[in-house]
Amino acid sequence: MDKYRCGRCGKTFDDDKLKVLPGVRCPYCGYNIIYMIRKPTVKVIKAI
Ligand SMILES: [Zn+2]
């Protein structure tokens, strides 16, 4: 399951919370810019 993070309030939520609301909006503050977070793999890119 993917996780999402709100672009304004920064809260994270699962995609089942997104389906409750019409459109893609933060369930907490209603903001419509949502970032997808891939939960299990956190990619760290090291600058050389
Ligand atoms: Zn929000």
Question: Is residue 15 domain-resident?
Answer: yes
- 2/12: higher pLDDT: 12
Cβ neighbours around 26 below 10 Å, total: 22
Q: Is 35 helix (H, G, I), strand (E, B) or coil?
A: strand
How far does residue 19's CA lie from ligand 1's centre (Å)? 15
Look at residue 21 in the predicted model and tell me its pLDDT.
60
Cα dist from 31 to 3, 19, 36, whole Å: 16, 15, 14
How far does residue 43's CA lie from ligand 1's centre (Å)? 24
- Domains identified in the chain, total number: 1
Question: Is residue 42 domain-resident?
Answer: no
Render pLDDT for 17-47 as a digit per residue (tens, 0 to 9). 776 666 778 889 989 888 888 766 666 778 8
Assess contact for 17 and 29: CB atoms under 8 A: no
Phi/psi at 20 (5° precision): -70, -35
Q: Is residue 6 part of an annotated ligand binding site?
A: no
Render pLDDT for 8-19 as a digit per residue (tens, 0 to 9). 999 998 888 776
Q: Which helix (H) or strand (E) holds 6?
A: strand 3-6
Containing structural domain, residue 20? 3-37
Q: Is residue 29 part of an annotated ligand binding site?
A: yes
Question: Is residue 16 domain-resident?
Answer: yes
How far does residue 21's CA lie from ligand 1's centre (Å)? 13
